[in-house]
Structure 1
Amino acid sequence: MSAWWDRYVNPPDGPQTSRQHLTRKVVRRIHWARTEGLGRVIEEDRLDPRPRLRAAVRKRRWRRSHPLAPGTAVPVYVVGLQRSGTNMLMRGLDEAPETEVRNENDRVLFHRFRVRSTDVLRRTVLASKQQFVFVKPICDSQHLDTFLDLDGLAPGRGVWVYRDPDSRARSEVSKFGPANLLALRDIAAGRGAARWQGERLPQASVDLIASFDLETMTPLTAAVLFWAVRNQLLFDLGLDQRDDVLLVSYDAFAAHPSTEMQRLCRFVGVSYRPELDEHVDRRVSHGTQPLEIDPRVRLLATEVHRRLEAARAAQDRRLAQAGSSAPERSAS
């Protein structure tokens, strides 16, 4: 029983059939309910239909009173790294009646958490009757610049969410076990092209990963190393220099929900309402004590986190000087 259970709780070691993928999803949710509590699973996966039904009614009423010309919806891509607070943002933004939210479990737009194609993405946004379409292509964060530059769509926005490396690592390993470690091993062995985790990684990052002893590395150290390499992509791709990309700190959001939600709304152009952040409890993440990890990984993560914080501060200065290109409007 244990071997069968571990087979589905731990990350897959190769391609999966549709039945295997479905079985894995069911078993892992049972595992998460046992380890994190059923309430947490219901909240994160939005399994309670009542909030979704209420939101659907509000959105339908909004469409009736705000008819839009076809093809005018603004795409907003929420990206970053798993276990960094993107679900929290999407849940709040779904409360706004002018928004349409497409999480990575949306079968129209995603297949096994990947965007099906840029053509499907374009058609989905063009077909929307809401003012904004929020898409969460977490496993395709490395393609954010491609999404933002798609032809035929209204000028979009990108939101890169990050969380402090230790808290994110604790949450990642608690929910996904050694997934980051296995991905790093594949990247170091030259198999990164077959994984989304290895796509568009510069050779310097691949060489850095390969310089570690990944056979003896702990899952927590690997999760922090993966956090550093993944968030470094923001700079590798030049996304920190784009005016249409905003950095959002989960930790700042958890500490000051209203302030940070208003900041996000001003950037995107969504009308702020208190209900957008009332679900956020002011709290710190899973733990506050630094993890005992490889000192080299610690130095790397500290530097990347410093750069993220500095880039976010620089964005705020630019926005304050130039004024938001999408000013906040009062809720209607």
Structure 2
Amino acid sequence: MAADNEVSTLVYTARRVARHLRWARTEGIGRLIEEDRLDPVDRIGTALAKRRWRRQAGREPGSAVPVYLVGLQRSGTNMLVRGLDSAPEVEVRNENDQTVFHRFQLRPDDVLAATIRRSRHAYVLVKPLCESHRVDELLALPGLAPGRALWVYRDVDDRARSEVAKFGDANLRALRAIADGSIGGRWQGQRLDPGTVGLIRQLEPERLDPYDGAALFWYVRNSLYFRLDLDRRDDVLLCRYDTLVTEPEAQIRRLCDFLDFPYHPRLHAHIAPRRSHGAASDRDGDRNGARDGARTLPLDARIRALCDELAERLDRKAADRG
């Protein structure tokens, strides 16, 4: 058993190194350093600011508000983490935090709850993307202050392109495992209803390419927002990444209002306002992506139709909470 665990660890480490090398080649070293927060000066400065806050205004253990940042990988969640981490009131537990995560997945609920209860910060931000399908359960963990959740989604084409650049055909392999029943207990196949599994099989993932797979996975995971009735909850905020990057101040103020959190310009100082590729004005054109040939991927027409329909539904909901 020990030998098997050691082999598993070596394989996991090798895959992670290969992924980072591919990401560095496609996006550049600077992008990798920024995304994984590898700059020691930045990290040390943040840690010192939080220590000073705990000394001057630290809260009683057990009073911290848990905030779960969920959605789908490659959807801009790191941008929100970086902004909220600049606030000394917030303790951040990102996916690489070994106290509450193991290989990007949450440790048992009692470990998570105990970590949040120990905090002397006002908020504890946790990013359990692999457990997005459990956000309703996480919000119901006993013994914690009433929590909040932020569900982030991104334009399907931009997200698919980013996913394939960093993770290759990982989404496609997961869909194939769901379709043939070999997914087992892996997070990608959890809390999927029979209709969704049937849809995946109908679309024959063994015939799709990695971009089709990334787009279909976008549809499957973001559909959970509605299927879990998160759209009816006052403690879950839907956040559109493409709106955040075009109007960062307005969207961060919206987020702060939702969290009952003091607004400060530093929360979005790292976001240079720009026109997002996924702006709503780009949604004109035919359903298979004629709206911008340089940006839009040539997806399978069936997957394009599913994603466009869900995107419109998500956009309407995000605007309702604006």
TM norm. shorter chain > 0.5:
yes
Structure 1 counterpart SS, 2:321: helix
Residue number among 246, 256, 268 corresponding to 1:255 in the alignment: 246
Give the Cα–Cα distance (whole angstroms) in 1 for the partners of residues 251 and 166 of structure 2: 26
Question: Which ranges of structure 1 fall in alignment gaps of 5 or more residues?
Answer: 1-14, 317-332
Task: Note the 1:60-99 alignment, pairs <5 A.
Answer: 60-99=51-90
| Aligned mates of 2:16, 2:41 — CA distance in 1 | 23
1:305 equivalent in alignment to 2:311 = yes
Cα distance in 2, alignment partners of residues 74 and 153 from structure 1: 8
How far residue 27 of structure 1 moved from its aligned partner, in angstroms, is 2.6
Aligned partners of 1:202 and 1:236 also within 8 Å:
no
The amino acid of 1:120's aligned partner reads V
- Cα 1:277–1:239 change in 2 (3 A) is same
Distance 1:212 1:268 in 2: 40
Q: Is contact 2:225–2:231 with CA below 8 Å preserved after alignment?
A: yes
Which residue type is aligned with residue 134 of structure 2? H
CA RMSD of the aligned region, Å? 1.6
Q: Counterparts of 1:226-245 in structure 2 under 5 Å? A: 226-245=217-236
2: distance between equivalents of 1:87 and 1:289? 22
1:285 deviates by: 4.8
Indicate yes or no: 2:34 matched with 1:28.
Answer: no
Contact 2:20 2:166 in 1 (8 A): no
Q: Percent identity of the aligned residues? A: 52
List runs of 5+ in structure 2 lacking aligned partners.
1-5, 279-291
Distance 2:246 2:68 in 1: 23
State the partner residue of 1:319.
none
Q: Secondary structure at the match of 1:17?
A: helix
Distance 1:194 1:278 in 2: 40
Counterparts of residues 53-202 of structure 1 (less than 5 Å): 53-202=44-193
Question: TM-score when scaled to structure 1?
Answer: 0.88
Whole-Å separation in 1 of the counterparts to 2:56 and 2:202: 59
**2:22–2:165 Cα contact (<8 Å) kept:** no
**Distance apart, 1:62 and its partner CA:** 1.2
Between 158-167 and 31-40, the greater mean CA deviation after superposition: 31-40
Question: Distance between the aligned counterparts of 2:277 and 2:210, measured in 1?
Answer: 18
Correspondence 1:289 to 2:280: no
* 1:309 counterpart letter in structure 2: D
Moved over 6 A (4+): none
Q: TM-score, normalised by structure 2?
A: 0.90
Q: Residue 258 of structure 1: CA displacement?
A: 0.9
What residue number does 1:221 align with? Answer: 212
Q: Which amino acid in the other structure matches residue 68 of structure 1?
A: R
> Which residue of the partner structure matches residue 205 of structure 1?
196
Distance 1:61 1:20 in 2: 40
